[in-house]
Amino acid sequence: MKICPKCGELYIKGKGALSRRDNKTEICPTCGTREALEDLKNYCERKNKKDANKNI
Ligand SMILES: [Zn+2]
């Protein structure tokens, strides 16, 4: 078992995800999913902003 450095939860070694923040820290699958969703959200927000500017 490994301890996730982000949330402190235990997870099965090898089942974790690589942090998208620094590409070397191994985090639990839950945090991996959370980071992926955050990135997706940021991407969508940026895209929406870009689209909004296009309409001005
Ligand atoms: Zn975690």
What pLDDT does residue 53 have? 84
Q: Long-range contacts for 46-55 (Cβ within 8 Å, ≥24 apart)? A: none
Identify any residues that bridge with 27 across adjacent strands, giving them in sequence order.
Answer: 17
> Domain containing 45: what range?
2-54
How far does the centroid of ligand 1 lie from the alpha carbon of residue 42, in Å? 20
How far does the centroid of ligand 1 lie from the alpha carbon of residue 46, in Å? 26
Residues, CB within 5 angstroms of ligand 1 (ion): 4, 6-7, 28, 31
The stretch 41-51 carries a mean pLDDT of 94
Number of domains composing the chain = 1
Banded model confidence at residue 56, pLDDT cuts 50, 70, 90 = low
Cβ burial of 55 (10 Å; 0-12, 13-18, 19+) is exposed
How far does the centroid of ligand 1 lie from the alpha carbon of residue 7, in Å? 4
